[in-house]
């Protein structure tokens, strides 16, 4: 609902808000220039949030902004997907015409978008982007503490996707209303640089005096100011209510006035005539802004004539209790009034009011009808009807992809189950709820319903269903983070139950589940046996999809795993088993990574995420793919691509390990960009989803935590974490090796710090801690750092950092090897750091100045290219100390001379470096080529330009381009 048209004509409540207005105006001006912004305005009820934003709305419209205003209203459990978003878009489209309305959007507005339609959230994003291409847009969602979860998802998608849209997003919320899910939503968005928070404090005495002067039209008496401020304590709306009937010359407030906002609102209602009070009560019972014809139908049941209704509404509007908007909808001037008035109806009157709304809803259906009917029926005690309408509301929510609201309605139906007359099939309802929760990304609700189903299923009467439920339970108990690996005991129980029918899909599913659990348990012989049996028993598409995925998981680390992973992914995708396809994509990506095909590995998970986003609305699974793809991109130093994946993943707002996986990669990305506070927020949010996260080795969180500790100057905490985690024998070799590498970095940092303080004991302690970590790694029984490209890179870094910890002589050569190994692997962030360490070692060991300069330039270039600001700043600072120029040659490119017209692009690049005075090695380092290749190119240049040596060549190029 839009604010009343004359809201800006009430400036009194804006007194003392100049700084807050300035912040919003600044955000609006930035948005108008193509720098989108989001501002979250919060404070207690009556502090003036909506009035402040309304004043900016008026200014924005004057400056040519398109206004999208949606309001959230409280109506118990009757949440409707997209309610404020639909309200905002409907009003705009009604004014702008339908030329921008797509079929999918039309179905959303009508409440009828099939689940197989394209994702509606990107459709909304695209519409707003189209609007902002014509004019700047201000999107306001008022009272977001009552927003449905799907609307929060829309806003998260918009804000995380900020690019260069001319868009300002503003949301208001009561401070006392910030609970779940809003708290988690805010935590996810707060870390974004485009998001600002604006907390409205109560007004000071001087501001209250200014507000009174505006309201009374003259300077108030000091005694009146004292009385009002003592009563209102700076609450702007309470101040307004207190002086509504006070004469301008009053020296004090009358006795007996209320001391709280809720009391004042109720007192204002009590001053109305009886008919007006009843009308207000009925509107509060309805719970939503109501159109006049609907209100007329409801009030008729209470004997109120249309003429009496007109007089009552006019009286309530004049008293400031109600407002009527431009679309002839009536609601409360302040939302808190609805809450306090709703409690004034006596039980018999309340039942009568709810039945009147039931009758009207049945006569005049609208979006969200089923959800409202479910609540009205429940409030009058018709639980069977409430149950049936909750199921209908769940179905309606699913039709517009409001899976969170579908989950909520199904969960409520399950709560009503014991009290309804006809039970039906509770197991079917529970499984339906599990599927909805999976789509919504609410893994906790999914687990609760799966656990409930497992407790009531009769294993003797229905062993196959029990086996399937056990397999689903195993997946959910892992995805919610309750365990760090798939549970084996329950998987084996599922297998035992399903052996009653070895031709069933459930038998294959149980075999696959057992095989995966045994792989997590490091029992590879048993895992291989059960995966083979699953392949042999699979005689239906679903079973074959699960069997192929299990085979790929069990063969992880073997050369054939690449082919098996690809086969499993392609088969599951083609057959429409998207959950299996997502798992197979991870195994395929892992197999590619193991054989050193890092770019292919990243591409597989990125493509699988894109396909899952388009075809498979399982939020947690899709989010997990986004996090995995982002992790691969980060390892390769592709920060921009990783940032886009993180944005998409965070916008999904999934729970369990899916959401935590994205947040971990967001923390790693933020750390690489030097935003350690932001990274800490991500880690805290991830721990809310998976409390055992620091010890959950399945998500590989330890390197992320260690990196964050190091970047925050806490090398000792990094080592503590790694030494605590390393003894876990269930960790795979690759994670152990990565942890060992980070441990060497942490120990080297500690030793360096101790050397700076000339603390010999500290140096020895750092060495001892690294030795301890290495011993813990040796206890795993495998040789650290395998023969693959990744292992060689990690091993080279470990060796060089260990030398930095000691330190040993000739560390520069070790860092040369680390640089070469990281470059061969394509790990650009690690290479940049290794180049900087190389420069430091060469400077300490008296290396050649040209080589020091080449390493620093390479470090700075890489850090700049990938957006790693801390590395970029460190390289620049070190270059200043070493008196090295980091300028990248933009050398002469003479083309008007015949001798230079035939040179290639690569020869032109080499010529630029040559003119800048770079050595062969510096040129090779900068351009990723060997010194021999540089020499060959220069020989070609000498031949083409008829010069005899590189000095003559460089001099000629300078003369011709000067």
Of 602, 619, 636, the position where a domain reaches its end is 636
Cα distance between residue 799 and residue 583, in whole Å: 35
pLDDT band at 281 (very low <50, low <70, confident <90, very high): very high
* pLDDT one-digit tens code per residue, 609-630: 999 888 766 888 999 999 999 9
Query: Which residues constitute the domain of residue 126?
Result: 7-199
Residues 871 and 910 in one domain: no
Residues 209 and 193 in one domain: no
What mean pLDDT comes out for the span 924-936? 80
- pLDDT: which is higher, 425 or 366: 425
- Average pLDDT of the chain is 87
* pLDDT one-digit tens code per residue, 680-692: 989 998 998 898 8
663 within domain boundaries:
no
What mean pLDDT comes out for the span 88-93? 80
Cα distance between residue 672 and residue 688, in whole Å: 23
414 within domain boundaries:
no
923 within domain boundaries:
yes
> Residue 2's pLDDT is what?
39
* pLDDT one-digit tens code per residue, 298-347: 999 899 999 999 999 999 999 989 998 767 789 988 888 888 888 888 88
At 916, which CATH number?
Answer: 1.10.10.10
Using CB atoms within 10 Å of the CB of residue 359, give its burial: 0 to 12 exposed, 13 to 18 middle, 19+ buried: middle
Task: Find the helix or strand (DSSP H, E) in which 331 lies.
Answer: strand 329-332
Of 882, 916, 939, the position where a domain reaches its end is 882
Pair of tokens at residue 691 = 């409390």
* pLDDT one-digit tens code per residue, 717-748: 999 999 999 988 777 888 899 999 999 999 99
Residues 570 and 460 in one domain: yes
Cα distance between residue 303 and residue 356, in whole Å: 12
* pLDDT one-digit tens code per residue, 889-915: 655 555 566 777 778 888 888 888 888
Residues 111 and 211 in one domain: no
Torsion angle of the four alpha carbons 644, 648, 651, 654, in this order, in degrees rounded to the nearest 10? -130
Q: For residue 889, is it left (φ>0), alpha (ψ between -120 and 50) or beta?
A: beta
At 18, which CATH number?
Answer: 3.40.50.300
* pLDDT one-digit tens code per residue, 443-466: 899 999 999 999 999 999 999 999
At 798, which CATH number?
Answer: 1.25.40
Q: Are 718 and 706 in contact (CB under 8 A)?
A: yes
669 within domain boundaries:
no
Pair of tokens at residue 394 = 């769940």
Residues 166 and 194 in one domain: yes
Residues 229 and 176 in one domain: no
Cα distance between residue 868 and residue 858, in whole Å: 13
Say which residue the tokens 């991830």 belong to: 686
Say which residue the tokens 């980060």 belong to: 634
> Residue 472's pLDDT is what?
94
951 within domain boundaries:
yes
> Residue 666's pLDDT is what?
93
371 within domain boundaries:
no
- pLDDT: which is higher, 168 or 215: 168
pTM for the whole structure: 0.81
> Residue 311's pLDDT is what?
95
Residues 191 and 218 in one domain: no
Task: Find the helix or strand (DSSP H, E) in which 387 lies.
Answer: helix 383-399
Residues 53 and 167 in one domain: yes
Cα distance between residue 622 and residue 659, in whole Å: 9
Residues 228 and 87 in one domain: no
Pair of tokens at residue 767 = 């060495």
698 within domain boundaries:
no
The pLDDT of residue 480 is above 60: yes
Residues 846 and 934 in one domain: no
- pLDDT: which is higher, 466 or 160: 466
- Cis before 43 (ω within 30): no
> Residue 898's pLDDT is what?
72
Of 587, 604, 636, the position where a domain reaches its end is 636
Residues 862 and 760 in one domain: yes
Number of domains making up the chain: 5
When mean pLDDT is compared across 31-40, 361-370, 371-380, the lowest value belongs to 361-370
- Percentage above 90 pLDDT, the chain: 49
Residues 111 and 238 in one domain: no
Using CB atoms within 10 Å of the CB of residue 470, give its burial: 0 to 12 exposed, 13 to 18 middle, 19+ buried: buried
């Amino acid at each position: 609902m839009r604010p009343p048209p004359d809201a800006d004509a009430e400036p009194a409540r804006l007194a003392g808000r100049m700084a807050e207005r300035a912040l919003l105006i600044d955000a609006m001006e930035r948005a108008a220039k193509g720098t989108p912004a989001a501002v979250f305005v919060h404070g207690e009820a009556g502090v003036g949030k909506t009035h402040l934003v309304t004043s900016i709305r008026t200014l924005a419209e004057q400056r040519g902004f398109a206004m999208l205003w949606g309001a959230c209203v409280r109506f118990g459990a009757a949440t409707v997907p997209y309610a404020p978003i639909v309200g905002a878009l409907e009003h705009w489209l009604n004014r702008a015409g339908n030329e921008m309305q797509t079929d999918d959007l039309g179905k959303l507005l009508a409440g009828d978008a099939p689940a197989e339609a394209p994702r509606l959230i990107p459709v909304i994003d695209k519409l707003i982007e189209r609007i902002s291409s014509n004019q700047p847009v201000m999107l306001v969602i008022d009272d977001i503490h009552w927003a449905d979860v799907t609307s929060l998802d829309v806003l998260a998608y918009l804000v995380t996707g900020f690019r260069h849209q001319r868009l300002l997003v503003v949301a208001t919320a009561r401070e006392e209303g910030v609970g779940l899910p809003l708290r988690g939503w805010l935590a996810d968005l707060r870390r974004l640089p485009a998001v600002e928070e604006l907390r409205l404090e109560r007004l000071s005495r001087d501001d209250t005096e200014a507000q009174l002067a505006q309201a009374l039209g003259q300077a108030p008496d000091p005694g009146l100011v004292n009385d009002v401020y003592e009563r209102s304590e700076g609450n702007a709306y309470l101040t307004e209510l207190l002086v509504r009937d006070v004469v301008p010359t009053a020296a004090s407030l009358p006795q007996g006035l209320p001391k709280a906002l809720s009391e004042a609102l109720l007192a204002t209602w009590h001053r109305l005539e009886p008919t007006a009070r009843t009308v207000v009560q009925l509107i509060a019972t309805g719970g939503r802004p109501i159109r006049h014809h609907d209100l007329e139908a409801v009030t008729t049941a209470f004997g109120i004539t249309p003429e009496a209704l007109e007089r009552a509404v006019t009286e309530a509007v004049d008293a400031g209790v109600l407002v009527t908007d431009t679309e002839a909808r009536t609601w409360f001037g302040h939302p808190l009034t609805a809450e306090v008035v709703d409690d004034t109806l006596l039980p018999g009157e309340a039942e009568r009011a709810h039945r009147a709304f039931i009758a009207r809803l049945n006569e005049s259906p609208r979006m969200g009808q089923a959800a409202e009917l479910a609540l009205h029926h429940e409030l009058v005690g018709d639980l069977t009807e409430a149950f049936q309408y909750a199921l209908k509301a769940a179905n309606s929510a699913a039709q517009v992809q409001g899976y969170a609201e579908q989950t909520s309605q199904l969960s409520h139906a399950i709560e009503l189950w014991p009290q309804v007359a006809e039970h039906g099939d509770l197991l079917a309802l529970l499984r339906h709820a599990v599927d909805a929760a999976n789509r919504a990304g609410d893994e906790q609700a999914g687990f609760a319903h799966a656990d409930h189903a497992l407790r009531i299923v009769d294993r003797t009467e229905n062993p196959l269903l029990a086996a399937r439920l056990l397999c689903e339970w195993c997946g959910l108990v892992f995805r919610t983070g309750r365990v760090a690996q798939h549970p084996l005991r329950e998987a084996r129980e599922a297998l035992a139950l399903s052996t009653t029918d070895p031709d069933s899909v459930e038998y294959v599913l149980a075999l696959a589940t057992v095989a995966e659990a045994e792989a997590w348990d490091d029992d590879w012989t048993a895992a291989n046996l059960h995966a083979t049996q699953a392949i042999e028993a699979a005689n239906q598409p679903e079973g074959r999809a699960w069997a192929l995925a299990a085979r790929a998981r069990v063969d992880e680390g073997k050369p054939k795993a690449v082919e098996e992973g690809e086969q499993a992914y392609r088969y599951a995708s083609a057959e429409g088993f998207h959950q299996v396809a997502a798992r197979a994509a991870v195994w395929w990506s892992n197999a590619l990574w193991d054989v050193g095909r890092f770019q292919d590995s990243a591409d597989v998970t990125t493509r699988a995420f894109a396909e899952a986003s388009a075809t498979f609305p399982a939020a947690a699974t899709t989010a997990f793919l986004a996090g995995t793809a982002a992790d691969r991109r980060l390892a390769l130093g592709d920060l921009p691509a990783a940032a886009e994946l993180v944005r998409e993943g965070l916008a999904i707002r999934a729970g369990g390990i899916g959401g935590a996986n994205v947040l971990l990669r967001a923390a790693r990305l933020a750390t690489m960009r030097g935003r350690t506070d932001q990274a800490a927020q991500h880690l805290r949010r991830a721990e809310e989803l998976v409390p055992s996260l620091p010890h959950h080795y399945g998500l590989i969180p330890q390197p992320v935590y260690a990196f964050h500790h190091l970047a925050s100057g806490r090398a000792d905490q990094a080592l503590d974490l790694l030494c605590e985690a390393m003894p876990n024998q269930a960790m795979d070799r690759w994670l152990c090796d990565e942890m060992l590498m980070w441990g060497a970095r942490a120990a080297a940092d500690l030793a360096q710090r101790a050397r700076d303080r000339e603390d010999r004991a500290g140096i020895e302690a750092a060495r001892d801690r690294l030795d301890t970590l290495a011993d813990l790694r040796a206890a795993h029984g495998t040789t650290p750092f395998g023969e693959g490209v990744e292992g060689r890179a990690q091993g080279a870094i470990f060796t060089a950092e260990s030398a930095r910890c000691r330190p040993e002589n000739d560390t520069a050569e070790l860092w040369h090897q680390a640089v070469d190994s990281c470059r061969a692997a394509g790990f650009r962030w690690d290479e940049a750091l290794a180049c900087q360490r190389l420069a430091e070692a060469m400077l300490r060991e008296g290396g050649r100045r040209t080589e020091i300069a080449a390493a620093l330039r390479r470090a700075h270039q890489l850090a700049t290219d990938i957006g790693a600001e801390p590395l970029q700043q460190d390289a620049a600072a070190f270059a200043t100390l070493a008196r090295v120029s980091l300028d990248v040659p933009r050398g002469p490119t003479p083309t008007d001379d015949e001798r230079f017209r035939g040179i290639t692009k690569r020869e032109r690049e080499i010529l630029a470096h040559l003119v800048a005075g770079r050595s062969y090695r510096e040129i090779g380092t900068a351009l990723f080529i060997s010194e021999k290749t540089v020499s060959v190119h220069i020989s070609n240049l000498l031949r083409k330009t008829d010069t005899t040596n590189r000095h003559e060549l460089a001099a000629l190029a300078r003369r011709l381009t000067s």
